[in-house]
Amino acid sequence: MTVSTSTPAVLSEEDERDLRRVVRSIADSFGHDYFTRTALADQPATELWNALAEGGFVGANIPEEYGGAGLGLSALAVITEEIAAAGCPLIMLIISPAIVGSVLARHGTDEQKNQWLTQIGTGAGKLSFAITEPDAGLNSHNIATNARREGDNYILNGQKVFISCLDEAEAVLVVARTGTNADTGRAQLSLFIVDADAPGLTMQKMPMVLETPDSQFTVYFDNVVVPADRLVGTEGKGLRAVFDGLNPERVIIAATCTGMARYAMEKGVAYAKEREVWGVPIGAHQGLAHPLAEAAIHLEAARLMIRTAAARYDAGQDAGEASNMAKFLAADAGIECLDQAMEVHGGSAFTREIGLGDMLTLARLFKNVPISREMVLNYVSEHTLGLPKSY
Ligand SMILES: Cc1cc2nc3c(=O)[nH]c(=O)nc-3n(C[C@H](O)[C@H](O)[C@H](O)COP(=O)(O)OP(=O)(O)OC[C@H]3O[C@@H](n4cnc5c(N)ncnc54)[C@H](O)[C@@H]3O)c2cc1C
């Protein structure tokens, strides 16, 4: 096992400004109309992804020796926020570079990194991530999907739900049970890279209310043969490795939310300045102006917490508390900004042309997923405040 210890470069203020400008101009050239069009056509946002990959942006956090930019999670958060601010929040950025890329960078073998991390770093290939099961829910210790060792292979059986972007992925990083702790009954979990087209793997699209180009799937593993060299990290210690991907996931989800919040605020503020009903712009009424101002304050607080969480992760410090807090604040800020931008737009808020209602549903998703509001509060109660564990 090779553990990467290199610390990514820190972006200067000027570099960050330039990065934001370039990424935003690429994403703006697609815009929310493109995002909606591909979503309604049930297609992935391949053209946007390829344009961003060509610029070297989708693997910003991946080390340079594996095709990435070596700029860390902080840069990926900046990039993600700008893409979402253009009205194109991409779930794939959360999954492939943030979760799987982070886990492989820290726990993959050299061969695994050469083969898979390089694809993630360049954006030429994508990997999905599969932990959620219908019966286990947020309690990963109850995972039932199992991998049994047979000679040079593992045999994988089970079912996962809500697996994002599997139709676009070359492979999926699967969390499976390889044993059970005799004392606690808890699962001993391991990670495997499984080809998306492996014999015995089938996927079924889940009908969702989300209007996004990225889809979710139920995945069935029926005696899937996985070569032993596809095990990532140490057998039975998979949960510890997964945690190295979950903080980046939270930070990049938070950046997706603040991006959507900025998208909403730009629209809401512009409309409040131009729309007149009683002879003055509606933004002159404090009933509209103050909630917008309050939303702007909450948005900036969330952005600061994202900065803190990403910087801690990049510096190799414990980023659990800050990542949870960033996701919590950003999900709420996203919902608040979109809701208030809709308030400002009156009846127009519900037209497809304005492009706010679909984004509000997407922002609302991130209050529940991947870690719910309640579980963040459980984390802060226990780890920040030192209160007894409640479950
Ligand atoms: C659009 C979308 C994309 C997704 N993509 C992926 C993916 O790519 N890969 C993947 O593996 N998964 C994915 N997921 C799954 C997602 O991570 C889970 O839905 C999430 O982790 C919550 O699990 P659950 O739905 O089973 O909720 P449950 O575990 O059933 O929880 C239900 C509710 O109970 C509450 N609750 C549970 N325990 C406690 C407690 N102790 N204290 C207080 N409240 C509690 C929770 O807060 C929550 O509100 C996706 C889901 C969606 C909707």
- What CATH code is carried by the domain that includes residue 26? 1.10.540.10
CA of 336 to the centre of ligand 1 (A): 22
Q: 221 CB less than 6 Å from ligand 1?
A: no
Q: What is the mean pLDDT of residues 195-219?
A: 97
Q: Averaged over 179-208, what is the pLDDT? A: 95
Cis upstream peptide for 370 (omega within 30°): yes
Which residue's C-alpha comes closest to atom 38 of ligand 1? Answer: 138
In a domain, 100, yes or no: yes
The CA–CA distances, whole Å, from 61 to 10, 57, 97, 123, 304 equal 11, 9, 7, 12, 19
The residue nearest atom 35 of ligand 1, judged by CA position, is 374
φ, ψ dihedrals at 139, nearest 5°: -90, 90
Please check whether residue 10 is in contact with residue 74, taking contact to mean a CB–CB distance below 8 angstroms: yes
Find the mean pLDDT for residues 155-172: 98
Q: Which atom of ligand 1 is nearest to the CA of 95?
A: 8
**Residue 137: band (very low, low, confident or very high) from pLDDT cuts 50, 70, 90:** confident
Q: Is 370 in the pocket of ligand 1 (CB under 6 A)?
A: yes
Q: At 36, list the tokens.
A: 């909606």
Per-residue confidence (pLDDT) for residue 5, from 0 to 100: 46
- 3-class secondary structure, 352: coil
Ligand 1 lined by 372 (C-beta under 6 Å): yes
pLDDT beyond 50 at 31: yes
Q: What is the pLDDT of residue 336?
A: 98
Does residue 345 lie in a domain region?
A: yes
Whether the Cβ atoms of residue 238 and residue 189 lie closer than 8 Å to each other: yes
Q: Is any ligand 1 atom within 6 A of the Cβ of residue 162? A: yes
Q: How far from chain centre, in Å, is Cα 345?
A: 29
Shared domain for 74 and 187, answered yes or no, is no
Helix (H) or strand (E) holding 348: none
Mark which of 65, 94, 126 sits at the end of a domain.
126
| Average pLDDT of the segment spanning 108-136 | 97
Does ligand 1 lie within 6 Å of residue 129's CB atom? yes
- Residue type present at position 140: S
User: At 2, is the pLDDT very low, low, confident or very high (cuts 50, 70, 90)?
Assistant: very low
CA–CA separation, 29 and 41 (whole Å): 19
Angle formed by the axes of helices 238-274 and 357-368, to 10°? Answer: 150
Please state, in angstroms and rounded to a whole number, the distance separating the CA atoms of residues 114 and 81.
28
pLDDT at 185: 84
Considering only CA atoms, which of 352, 329, 349 is closest in space to residue 271? Answer: 349
Structure-token match 């057998």, residue found: 235
Report which of 113, 111, 245 is spatially closest to residue 174, judged by C-alpha positions: 245
Do residues 258 and 293 share a domain?
A: yes
Confidence tier at 1 by pLDDT (50, 70, 90): very low
**Is 366 near ligand 1, meaning CB less than 6 Å away?**
no
Tell which one of 138, 159, 189 to mutate to probe ligand 1, the residue whose CB is within 8 A of the most ligand atoms. 138
Query: Which among 31, 79, 86 has a CA at the least distance from the CA of 57?
Result: 79
Q: What ligand 1 atom has the least distance to the C-alpha of 390?
A: 41
Domain range enclosing 190: 129-236
The pick from 133, 140, 372, 378 for probing ligand 1's pocket by mutation, whose C-beta has the most ligand atoms within 8 angstroms, reads: 372
Length of the chain: 391
Q: What 8-state DSSP symbol labels residue 11?
A: P
Q: Is residue 284 part of a domain?
A: yes
245 and 232 within one domain: no
The residue whose two tokens read 């492939």 is: 96
Q: Does 117 lie in the same domain as 143?
A: no
Whether residue 290 sits in one domain with residue 217: no
Confidence grade of residue 4 (pLDDT, cut at 50, 70, 90) = very low
pLDDT at 332: 98
Q: Is the CB of 127 under 6 A from ligand 1?
A: no
Boundary of a domain, candidates 221, 236, 251: 236
What is the mean pLDDT of the segment spanning 163-187?
94
pLDDT value for 232: 98
CB of 99 closer than 6 A to ligand 1? Answer: no
Q: Are residues 133 and 122 in the same domain?
A: no
Domain end: 126, 146, 171, which one? 126
CA of 303 to the centre of ligand 1 (A): 24
Determine what percent of the chain is predicted with pLDDT higher than 70.
98
Mean pLDDT, rounded, of the chain: 96
- The maximal CA–CA distance of the chain, rounded, in angstroms, is 79
- Whether 88 and 27 have beta carbons less than 8 Å apart is answered as yes
**Does the beta carbon of 276 sit less than 6 angstroms from any atom of ligand 1?**
no
State residue 350's pLDDT score.
97
Q: What's the whole-number mean pLDDT along residues 206-226?
A: 97
Residue 6: pLDDT above 90? Answer: no
Could you tell me whether strands 187-195 and 146-150 are parallel, antiparallel, or unpaired per DSSP bridges? Answer: unpaired
